[in-house]
Structure formats: C-alpha cells, structure tokens
Amino acid sequence: MNKHFSLRKTLTATLVASACVVGWAPTAVVAAEADIAKRLDALEAELAALKAQVARPAPAAAPASAQAAKEHVVSGTDGITVYGKLELAAEANKDGVVSRNLLQNISSNIGFRGQRRLTGDLTGLMQIETGIAPDDSANSKTFASRNSFAGLRSDRLGSLIVGTYDMPLKRMDGNVDIMWGNADATEIILEGAGTSRQSVTTAGASYAPFSGFHTRQKNVIQYWSPKFSNIEIKLAFSPDEVNGVLSGTTTTAYRKPVYGASVEFDNKVWQFGVATETMKNFTADGKNMTALMAQGGMKLGDLAFGLAYSQLDNHLNKKTSNWVLGAAYDISLVSFKLNYGESSETADGKNDGLKMLGLEVDYPFDKNTVLFGYYSKITNGANARGRFEGGDNKFSPVAGTDPTALGLGIRFKF
C-alpha cells in the first residue's frame, strides 16, 4: 500500500474520531478534513521536489583541458582503490610513404593504489599499474609494467618510494603536456624520443647518440618533499644493476646509474619548474648523457598555456636544443588544444632536426568519458626519422619523410 495514502487515511480517521468526541457538527468535520488534505498535498509536493533534487544527474565535467594529464599519488582514506584508463582511437596514419587505417590503443592501463595510516604522521603507500590493450591483448604489457612502487609518506617530511616510476624530469611537463595520443609533442621533442632514433658508429659499434628521457626508470628510489609555499622538490636515483658496454677494444665495463631532480612552483594559476637528469657512462667511451628542462605556464579561466625548453647533451659533440608551446581554450564544454615544438640538429650540418604540430578537440560527456579528435604532423630533416610514439602501432619512417596522423578517439577514466 502507498505510504502517503496510509498516512492520509490515518490522519483523517483521527480527525473524524476527535470531532465525534467533542461533538463537532458533520459540516465542521468535513471542513477540517479538507484543510488537512490541503496540507498533506503541500507536504507531498515538497517531498517530491526533494526527491527530484537528490536524483538529479551530476553536473558535466570540467572541460578536458582542466583535467590532469598525469596521475600523482594523493592523500585519501585507508584502503585499496582500483583505477585506470581506456583510450582508443580510429586513426588514418601515414609514415611519410605508406598510408594505413588502424585502431590505436593509447596507453590504456589499470592500476591498484593503496595506503594505510601507520601513525599520526606516517602512511604506508603502494601502487601497481599495468598497461593493457583492449583492442589486441598481444599488446598488453607484463604485470606492473607501468609506475609501480611501495613507499612511505610523512606529512611533515615528505614521501619516499621504491620501484618503477617516471623520473622528475618526465613528470615536469606542466601546462605543456595537455595533448593526448599521437598529438602529443612533449615525448617526441622535449624528452628526445624523436632524436634518439638517429644512430652513429663509434669503435665499430652502432648506438643511438641520445637516449629518450621519456621512459620511466626501473629500480628507482625517489623522494618527494612536502609542499612549502607551493614549492615541491623531487630527487631520484637508480643504481645500475647490470654492467655496461665495452669501451673501445678493452674489456672495461661501465656502470650506468641514473640521477634526477626537480624543483617546481605551482599555485594552480602559475606554474614554473626546472629539472635535470644524468645517465652516467652513456656512450661507448664513458661519456655521460645529460638533460636539462625548464618550463612555465598559466591557467586562468578558460585559457591555459605553457612553454618548455630542454637541452640534451651526450658530451660527445652531440647536443640538441628543444622547445614546445602548448595552449588550450575552453568554449562551454569543448576544449580546443594545440602544441608545436622543434628539436635542433644534433650538430652543425647534420640536418637531423625535426618539428611537430598537434591539434586536438575534446568533448567530455561527463567527468569520466571524453570524445576527442586530433591531427598531427612531424616534419623531419633530411637525416631525421622522428615518428609518432603515443599508440601501440608505431611505424618507422624513411629518413627525411614527414609522418601524419588523423584520429577520432574515446577516453574513459575510472
């Protein structure tokens, strides 16, 4: 039986009984019953309005440009959280010579993040993250292939983690790192993925003159300071667990530890930072590979933009200067985004520099689901072989050719 009908019947019966006891006339009873009925109708209308307000759908998500591009460990309640991202795009891809139609899986992943408060100040941390490929399981990565670690966080002293994790330089892309999929130029230009595909020969052995600083580091120990006046410091060290390559004709083996650090200011409007990374004994004759990055940006209302500069040096007469500009503008729920960057020649006359343009439009259906489209182009120098790195399907162009990509994708985060 309807609860409201039962309540109305009970109140009405009580009113009639009371009227009989005090000797009211029948007309008075009818009038009182009518007044009670009106009040019950008003209460039922208010209750219906409250129910409708509670059941109202959540407001649409903020424009995509306001969403964080990279996940960080955050504070919260004790327990394990399952999270992840599925991102796939239908893409028309040309490597400069051959055209292809394909489905790109773009860094889809699933992870488990947990924490447990140990004392009033100390919290235990863990994370296990794995790359997955919904379109082709053969491209799924091994378990814990992405950022995975155990660690401790002190509210006063900062966090210490050990495992596999992005180095501070890779994390410090700021407002420049706003593009998705094959429209993203930060990895290719700033972090050296495009330049690292060149090769040279020294002492009879071929190797890349640069290493891409876009890769996450295994066997790493990292410290993250608490934020003081919106400033955060990160330090990282990865010991070399395997001997390196031969040096010339000798059998001397080099250890190759990696060091990194960053200092970053972020008050949610302005952001600035500098970072450095060193790969010891990178080259065949024991030279170090170093990277330096500086970036700054602003998020003000519907506009966000950033500019970043990096310099990669193998200390063997090979050096590049690189820069990327990124910008996003939101109109209602639609975000219009672009980035453009250039990487210089590794040395005068090498003609191995490259440029990249990426354009993107995002439409979020809600805070989890975003439809996006993109166009990107890499312009390679005569001896450059830069390629797209965002999706599982990667095609190596002939030196001097210009790859392009046009895609329509969907991203679901949970």
User: Which among 16-30, 165-179, 288-302 has the top mean pLDDT?
Assistant: 288-302
Same domain, 33 and 131: no
Let me know if residue 71 belongs to a domain.
no
The residue range of the domain holding 290 is 78-413
In this prediction the pTM is 0.79
Same domain, 28 and 139: no
Same domain, 383 and 327: yes
Burial of 407 (0-12, 13-18, 19+ CB in 10 A): buried
Same domain, 43 and 83: no
Query: How many residues does the structure list for the chain?
Result: 414
Residue 365, φ and ψ in degrees, nearest 5:
-75, -35
Distance CA 325, CA 174 (A): 11
3-state secondary structure of 32: helix
Let me know if residue 173 belongs to a domain.
yes
pLDDT of residue 188 exceeding 80: yes
Token duo for residue 275: 């970072």
Same domain, 328 and 215: yes
Q: What is the pLDDT of residue 69?
A: 47
Same domain, 39 and 144: no
CATH of the domain at 294: 2.40.160.10
Let me know if residue 383 belongs to a domain.
yes
pLDDT tens for 90-126 read: 999 999 899 999 999 999 999 999 999 998 899 999 9
Let me know if residue 193 belongs to a domain.
yes
Using alpha carbons only, give the angle 377, 381, 384 rounded to the nearest 5 degrees: 90
Same domain, 234 and 381: yes
Distance CA 369, CA 360 (A): 16
3-state secondary structure of 282: coil
3-state secondary structure of 362: strand
Same domain, 139 and 35: no
DSSP state of 172: T
Q: What is the pLDDT of residue 256?
A: 87
Angle of helix 26-55 versus helix 3-22 axis, rounded to 10: 160
Task: Read off the pLDDT of each residue in 37-53 and give the average, rounded to a whole number.
Answer: 67
- Start-to-end CA distance of the chain, whole Å, equals 41
Let me know if residue 68 belongs to a domain.
no
Let me know if residue 168 belongs to a domain.
yes
Count of alpha carbons within 13 angstroms of residue 12, beta-carbon side: 15
Q: Are 261 and 237 in contact (CB under 8 A)?
A: no
Amino acid sitting at position 149: F
Let me know if residue 171 belongs to a domain.
yes
Task: Read off the pLDDT of each residue in 366-387 and give the average, rounded to a whole number.
Answer: 96
Higher pLDDT, 408 or 172: 408
Same domain, 214 and 312: yes
Q: What is the mean pLDDT of the chain?
A: 84
Q: Are 139 and 106 in contact (CB under 8 A)?
A: no
Distance CA 240, CA 254 (A): 9
Give the total number of structural domains in the chain. Answer: 2
Of the candidates 191, 184, 168, 170, the one whose C-alpha atom is nearest the C-alpha of residue 310 is 191
Let me know if residue 61 belongs to a domain.
no
Same domain, 286 and 139: yes
Same domain, 259 and 317: yes
pLDDT tens for 318-358 read: 899 999 999 999 999 999 999 999 999 988 988 999 999 99
